[in-house]
Structure formats: structure tokens, C-alpha cells
Amino acid sequence: MIRIILFLLLIALGAAGAAWIAEQTGDVALSWGGYRAQMTLPVFVLALGVVIVAAMMIWAILRGLWRTPQRLRRNRRERRQARGRHAITQGLLAIGHGDSSAARIHADAARKHAAHDPLALLLHAQSAQLDGDREGAQRAFRAMAEREDTRLLGLRGLFIEAQRADDPVAAVMLAEEALKLSPSSSWASHAVLGFCCAKGDWAGALKILDNNQSAGLIDKATYRRQRGVLLTARALELEKVDRDLARESVMEAVKLAPTLVPAAVLASKFESEAHQVRRSMRLVEAAWLAQPHPDLADAYAHVKLGDSARQRLVRVETLAAKAPGHIEGALAIARAAIDASEFAKAREALAPFVDQPTQRVALLMAELERTEHGDSGRSRAWTLRAVRALHDPAWTADGYVSDRWRPVSPVTGRLDAFQWHTPVAALPSDKGPAIESSPFEEAMLATPRRAVVIAPPEPMNEPVAEPIVPNKPEPAAAPVAPEPSAAQDNTPPAPAAVEPAPAEASRPEPAAEPTPALAPQKPAESTPPQPAPLFRSRKDIPKTVPAPIPAVIPLVRAPDDPGVDEEGPPDEFAEQIGTPKAQAGGWRGFLSRWGGN
């Protein structure tokens, strides 16, 4: 609306001016050299306007002709830039969906049409990386590092290539240079921080962490946790070198991260040495409530130097009560109870975890059997079960399992990466949690301990019956002894059958091996009891029913039980050195025997 009003006003002013000029009287004379021109005022104004318009048109034509080459060059440059942008766009898209050949073609086109474009250099480097051309990628990143606008991007690319080439020195140098250019660069600060931690430069690592916090790269909670981790690492390193600095560092670490297990353990140790028992116990209890750990239980048990094993057991029971039902509390109680010879308490603590034991539970049960009863067989069975048992928690970071806590992951260089959890539980698997136990383990662990009662032999007044020779196996589920005849009334009675253990009640009876014909038996002085079966028979393979088992059966030992050497002490001079040579057969054996004779 305003433009229409202004246009109308201009038209009105032009018309008013033209009318005013037309009303003016008089002539205009122009004398130039020998020429004289005379005209009225309106005609003069009209002629002047025509001349001005013509001059402007001529100037525009001349100016256009003068600028034509420049315009042509600009248009050509714009077309090349458009082609370069199109090639860059298509190349980045090709890199996105992994088409290396298309990315390489578009990278060549972008380098041809837009050689100085930073995105063209980036596309060339990315396509070279996709093709596996490390030298080409390094050349592109070096070209980017030489420019001011892409210097940081070039350093990042060279840093990645140095990591791929397994050159940590060059990678750290590039990260330090990038950190000088941009203190807020997260990747550079992370790389330099990991390098400082790897070489043990805790002061430099703390300085970089402070810079990260001031630059806003991490929040306050993360800063406190990571600073506590670094201080703990420095305290652990200086524990035996500079105890004053180690104590100062770990005390600050406990204030920043009270749930950090290594910090709480070391701080409790220092407080215990300074006879600050209550403060030491509070430090361990705070970390125990957050995450029960065996190191915390050990530190709590030894918080008072010189205590007896029973005093340590009472203290450990107090700590375990703060996290009821946790396996670490039960293991700590069992460990302290074994040391205090309180075997009933140790069994009671381990009872909820015996059905599906972990390796530490199985080893404690093996030690308990060996210490309490001296039962080497059951101890070996528990030790064998420990090999197949569930894994215990361990310090794990990025799939790496360590026997001790570390401040930085050795795989990725991430700070505070180690966590206390079961390594196998973090990996997906369709297998079971543990390997099934063998029949030997089940038999050894299920056989109860019973007192062996040996019945005295009865006098045998009548002759012994003839040996029983099995003619044909009878289809019976279990071997049944034949009924004694009237002539065998004075035969020694068979030993009483031992009742199976509760764990073996549901287990099928094993099939006995077929025995050959028995020789005439002699009166035995004592009849040993028949041990419980150690192996289960397979149901998928049919077996023939063996002959009846005689009344007197020798004891069967476990496969790994060497037994008692019933023979006399061996004579070292009578023993044969080396393996005996087998006698040759055929004509060689005949010649050797004939020559020996």
C-alpha cells in the first residue's frame, strides 16, 4: 500500500513538473564553434532527457562488454563449486552406507572441482580410510593440519591413524598439540589423561582433570569420582615409598569417593595403624553398604592388630549382618570361622550356596573338609568341583579381567573403568551357568560318613559249598544272592546293606560288572562293608545282568586315591631301572632265544 502511494506521488510530481516547464516561455540558444541551435524551453528539456537516457544506455552497454570476461569466469567458478558440492555430498553419503568405490569416484571429482574446500579434503581422507589406504589418509590429514581452519580436524585424523598403526608416542604428541590449540577438546584431554595414567604421572593427570572440570567437559560428580580414583592410584603407588603423601592422598580420596573399595581399604589400614579403630571401621562399613567386597571384609577383620581368631570372627559377623544374605558376608564368616576352628559356623554360613557353589565356595568347602575331618577324598572332590563351578566376581573393564584394581582400562584407556562383577555374566551366552559335576564328585560328596562295624566271623563247622558258576544271566533289576542251602548254615553272613544317602535316593542303582567264576572261598576273619557306588550306569546302552555277587567283596577305592601301600618298603637296588623290553616275536625272537640258550 505504501509503495502504491509513493508511486502515485512520484507520478503526480512528474506531471506537475512537466506542466510547469510547458507553461514557461522563452527560448534556449546553444552556440558551439560555428554552430548555433535555438529552441524553446520544453523542447530543450525533452532533448536533454533523451541525451541523458542514451548516454546511460551506452554506458551500460560498454560496462557490460567490459565485465563480460569476469562474469564468465565467475559463472564457470560457480558451476565448478556446485559440482564440487554435489560430489562432496554424494561422496559423504557413499561413505555413510559403505560404498568405497563410489566414495573414491566422488572424492576424485570433489578434489578436481573443489580442491581447496575443507570438506573435499575430509572426503578424500575418509574414502582413503574406507579403502584401507593409510598413506593416502595421512597425506590428506597432513594437508588439513597445515591449514588454519582445519588444523584441529587434521590433528584428530592423524591421531586416529597413529592409534591404528599402534604408535602411542606419536598419538600422544598429536593429542598434546591439539590440547594446546583447544583446551576444551574432549578427545585430546582424554588421550593425554590416559597417557599420564599409563606412565604414572598422577600430578599431570590431576592437572588435566582440573582443566576438564573448568572447561565444562565433566560434571561435578564425575570430577569428584575421577579425582578420588587418581588420588587412590597415587596413594597405592606411594604406600611403601612416601607414606605421608600416600596417607594424605587416600584420605582426600575417601572424602571424594567414599564407596571406592581400594580407597576405603587403604584408608582403613592407615587409620588402624594410627589406632583410630572406630574411624577405620566406619570407613569400611560405608564402602561395604555400597558394595560388599572380600578386601573390605579382610580389612574389617584385621582392624585391631593382635586380635585372636575368635575376635576377628565376631567382628566379621557384625559386618556381614549389615548386608544380610550376601555371598561375600557368608564367605567372610566362613573364612574367619575356619581360622577360629569354628567349623559348624563355617558350614552354616556356606550352606545356602553349596547347591550351586562358586569357585571360592568350593575351595572353602575343600579346606573345611581337610581341616575339620582330614578327609582328603572329599577335599579333592570339592577342589575338582571348584574347576567347574561358577565364576566369582573380579575386577573387570572392557572384557579385561585383572587380579587387582587399576585406575585406567588397559584396553580403551578409560578412567575408572574397572568394576567388581562376574566376568562371564557380562558376556551373552546360550550355555548354562556352570559345567555339570561328574558322577565321581556327586558320589564322593553325597556319601555320608558312617562308622564301619565289622561283625566277628562265626565258626565254620561244615564244609563250604561249591563255587557258584553263572550259566545264564537272569533278567533281574539288581543282583540277588542265591538262598543258602541246608549245608551252608554255618557260612559267614553277608554284611548288612548300607542305606543310601539322601542325595542318592533318587539315583538309579549301578549295574555291577560281570565277574568270572569264583574260586572256593576261605573263611574270612572280617567282612568289610560294601562302599557306596561311585559311578552311575548309562541307560542308553543295554547290559547283560551279571552273576551274583559273592559275600566277600574287596573295597573299591576312588580313581584318584592312591590308597595305602600294603607291600613292604621297596628296595631301591632291586627296582628295575627303565621299562622292561618286550620279547620280540617271529624269526627275530627265535634267533634271540636260540642265541641266549
pLDDT value at position 254? 94
Chain mean position to CA 546: 54
pLDDT value at position 415? 87
Higher pLDDT, 164 or 286: 286
Residue 109: HSE in the Cβ half-sphere, 13 Å Cα cutoff: 19
14-18, 301-305, 337-341, 531-535: lowest mean pLDDT where?
531-535
Residue 392 scores a pLDDT above 50? yes
| Highest mean pLDDT of the ranges 123-137, 460-474, 482-496 | 123-137
Q: Mean pLDDT across the stretch 550-579?
A: 47
Q: Mean pLDDT across the stretch 228-252?
A: 93
Among candidates 17, 52, 18, 25, which has minimal Cα distance to 41? 25
Whose cell is 575417601? That residue is 254
* Residue 268 · residue 274 · CB < 8 Å: no
Residue 258 scores a pLDDT above 70? yes
d(CA 328, CA 299): 13
Which secondary structure element, helix H or strand E, spans residue 99, and what is its range? none
pLDDT value at position 588? 58
Whose cell is 563247622? That residue is 461
pLDDT value at position 309? 92
pLDDT band of 333, cuts 50, 70, 90: very high
pLDDT band of 560, cuts 50, 70, 90: low
pLDDT value at position 410? 85
* Residue 380 · residue 373 · CB < 8 Å: no
pLDDT band of 520, cuts 50, 70, 90: very low
pLDDT band of 448, cuts 50, 70, 90: low
d(CA 179, CA 190): 10
> What cell was used for 574?
632291586
- Give pTM, 2 decimals: 0.58
Q: Mean pLDDT across the stretch 133-138?
A: 85
pLDDT value at position 280? 93
Q: Is 151 left (phi over 0), alpha (psi -120 to 50) or beta?
A: alpha
* Residue 407 · residue 416 · CB < 8 Å: yes
Alpha helices in 406-557 (DSSP H): 439-446
Edge-first strand listing for the sheet containing 394-397: 400-402, 394-397, 419-421
* Residue 462 · residue 489 · CB < 8 Å: yes
Average pLDDT, the chain: 76
* Residue 304 · residue 311 · CB < 8 Å: yes
- Burial string for 117-155 (b: 16+ CB within 10 Å, else e) reads bbbbbbbbbbbbbbeebeebbbebbeebbeeeebbbbbb
3-class secondary-structure state, position 476: coil
pLDDT value at position 595? 55
pLDDT value at position 596? 52
d(CA 224, CA 203): 16
3-class secondary-structure state, position 200: coil
34-38, 258-262, 329-333, 584-588: lowest mean pLDDT where?
584-588
* Residue 386 · residue 362 · CB < 8 Å: yes
pLDDT over 70 for what percent of the chain? 71
pLDDT over 90 for what percent of the chain? 29
pLDDT value at position 50? 87
Residue 224 scores a pLDDT above 90? yes
pLDDT value at position 94? 87
Concatenate the DSSP letters of all residues of 234-295 into one string: HHHHTTTT-HHHHHHHHHHHHHH-TT-HHHHHHHHHHHHHTT-HHHHHHHHHHHHHH---HH
pLDDT value at position 361? 93
d(CA 478, CA 537): 12
Higher pLDDT, 148 or 116: 148
| Highest mean pLDDT of the ranges 98-102, 286-290, 374-378, 567-571 | 286-290
pLDDT band of 594, cuts 50, 70, 90: low
pLDDT value at position 469? 41
Residue 463 scores a pLDDT above 50? no
DSSP state of 400: E
pLDDT tens for residues 32-90?
Answer: 777 877 777 777 778 888 889 899 999 999 988 998 998 898 888 888 888 888 888 88
Phi, psi (degrees; rounded to nearest 5) at 146: -80, -15
Residue 484 scores a pLDDT above 80? no
Q: Identify any residues that bridge with 408 across adjacent strands, giving them in sequence order.
A: 415
